[in-house]
Amino acid sequence: MSKKLTDILANGSADALRKQWGETEAAGEFTSLPAGEYVARIIDGELETSRKNSTPGYKLTFRVLEGDFEGRQFWHDIWLTPAALPMAKRDLGKLGVTELDQLSQPLPAGIRCRVKLALRREDDGAEHNKVRRFDVEGIDELEADAFAPADANSEGGGNG
């Protein structure tokens, strides 16, 4: 037997949800960001392998800090292949990564960058962002997460 809305909502909250449903506009589809320069923070860096060729790499996740697209995210893949190593060392060096083994550890929290984004169109017409260049502008002091577990041995850090 199928559940009813009242079966999953407690204390008569179905009426409030119905009212909100009627007043809420559907979200638009996420599209690529327009080409241009953005101030963004690196919020994550992790080792990866590409789905298509199992190419080893390191993926940076950026979050836009200012302007019309504040809060939106985009990604930058740094490939760890012989042909791509000169660019990988350039980009990772900007983050203080000078040894390959450092990629297994979290990046410092709060890395703020100025990023030049391009818009790339694939043969099938799909568009996606491509980081053309990024420059580290500084490291921001981040507010402590009130819900983070206490760690007496830590002075911050993490992937922020």
Structure tokens at 83: 């042909």
Domain membership of residue 91 (yes or no) is yes
**CB neighbour burial string for 105-140, b if at least 16 within 10 angstroms, e if fewer:** eebbbbbebebebeeeeeeeeeeebebeebeeeeee
Number of structural domains the chain divides into: 1
Which H or E element spans position 6?
Answer: helix 5-8
Tell me the sheet residues that pair with 120. 128
pTM comes to 0.74
Identify the CATH number of the domain in which residue 42 sits. Answer: 2.40.50
In this predicted model, what pLDDT tens digit does every residue of 99-153 receive, in sequence order?
999 999 999 999 999 999 999 998 998 899 999 999 999 999 887 766 766 654 4
- Domain hosting 57: range is 36-139
* Alpha helix ranges (H) inside 12-126: 13-23, 85-93
